[in-house]
A and B are shown apart, each in its own frame.
Chain A
Amino acid sequence: MLVLFWVTLRALPRIFRYRRNLAEQLFEIGNASLFMACVLSLFIGGVLSLQAGPLLAQRGLGSMLGGLVGASLAKELGPVMMSILIAGRIGSAMAAELGSMRVYQEIDALRTLNIDPVEYLVLPRVVAISLALPCLLVFSLLIGSAGGAFVAALNPEVAVSATAFFNSLKATLEPRDIIHGLIKTFLFAITVGVVCCNQGLDTMGGPRGIGRSVTKAVVNSIVFILVLDYVITRMLLPFTKASMAGGF
């Protein structure tokens, strides 16, 4: 997997040659995930508001709900949930597509045409997912915050108006929090892309092998996302402590 990552990285300067494949992959990812990402974010924001709102309100901190929901979405839940969604929806499709290409000799055919399968197939996929996932995080943040504000306003136990919710969010959420989330998402995206492509290229056997590859790709991606989440959070913690002190 590390070898594939290194080979893909080395091929990066030639991505312009594969702009058509890249555009196709970007469309595929956006088309397949945007709606699901919005639905997921809406409910994550809503649930956060539903759970944390009454607790904060009981302590007279209801006005801080917007900041809590925004920071949670930007730094933790957004990156992790969007990455898991993409691993399940896009990563599985990548592993299945490359796996079937391997099984049905399409990858061998590329090699006989002197076309490097990593440059032709893996590079556009990894670059596309790395560009698309941070964009999805921005959508997730917007929609999730709207979901949180909606629930906060309607829930009588919280009774925080949308204006108060967004004022708290604006006061608490700093650009570096969003950058924190974007860095995480970008690294998760590379991980999902490389893990799933590697699994696809390693597929052996017939349709059963493809099924096994897809399962492994998704499970391994999720494990890597969660492990990396801890490591990256730990590394970025000194840079976000100031904002935490200011907000929470």
Chain B
Amino acid sequence: MTFAKIAESGVAVRVHQLRKSFGSQIVLDGVDLEIQPGEIFVLMGPSGSGKSVLLRHLIGLETADSGEIHLNGTRIEDEGIRDRFRLAMVFQSGGLLNSLTVGENVGLYLSEHRLKPAAEIERIVQEKLALVHLGPKDSLKYPSELSGGMKKRVAIARALVMEPQVVLYDEPTSELDPLVAVTVGREIVRANAMTHATTLVVTHDRDLAFGIANRIAFLSEGRIVAVGTPEVIRASQDPLIRRFLSADFTRD
């Protein structure tokens, strides 16, 4: 599938009354969200607010206690959902397989599912790596030889190989210096512009959230406190959001 075709295929994501507890700890407490096809939607909130857990529900790594997730109106638990919609995730740590080279990591989806011949996979791998500004030499390296920023970019390239309709990013700028964080943020925007995939970014990085989002949801203690454009969130008078946005280091 070409990028032009994908452009028509970003899907709507709807989360309805999602609840999840780990033991006695309530992590998601009735989350409701609607994400439009192709938009960059940022889920922002303090650490431990349930952002990553929500993301893991969307990709199918967790099962909700109750509530529903729909992709273009189809429940995510329905059989064959993975054949109908392609979802990719970029993990906080990158999630690259350390035993494989960068090139093998990026081409893993195609090679394991035998979707293309080896030469074609190699061409696609180089194409996707070039999209995130990595060269053929980098494809021979192992993840342990890469910097944090490069790992994130390789993870983005691996996600793009799936030609996804939904891309989920878990804390994409964590552990990165501000310059590299800006680069990764740009890669996310660029990938979204090229693929038009619905993009959901989980972060507590305020600069990233306001820099890339079409809309932002603020999550606190497992509940959505506010949803809106960056301007709306910035102007919110909700005390939780005000405290989060105005938090700054000052010496006593």
Contact = CB atoms under 8 A, between A and B. Distances in A.
B109 A109 contact: no
B6 interface: no
B98 A106 contact: yes
B52 to A, nearest CB: 11
Contact of B60 (A110, A111, A120): A111
Given A114-B82, A115-B108, A109 B60 contact: no
Contacts of B92: 105
B96 A109 contact: yes
Contacts of A110: 97
A3 interface: no
B95 A108 contact: yes
A29 B112 CA distance: 24
Interface in B53-99: 56, 59-61, 82, 87-89, 91-93, 95-98
B162 interface: yes
Band of interface residues on A = 10 to 19
Band of interface residues on B = 20 to 34
B137 interface: no
B112 A112 contact: no
Contacts of A114: 82, 109, 113
Contacts of B60: 111-112
A112 B89 contact: yes
Interface centre among B92, B96, B97, B108 (most CB of A within 10 A): B97
A114 B85 CA distance: 12
B109 A105 contact: no
9 contacts: A104-B95, A104-B98, A112-B59, A112-B61, A112-B95, A113-B108, A113-B112, A113-B158, A115-B113
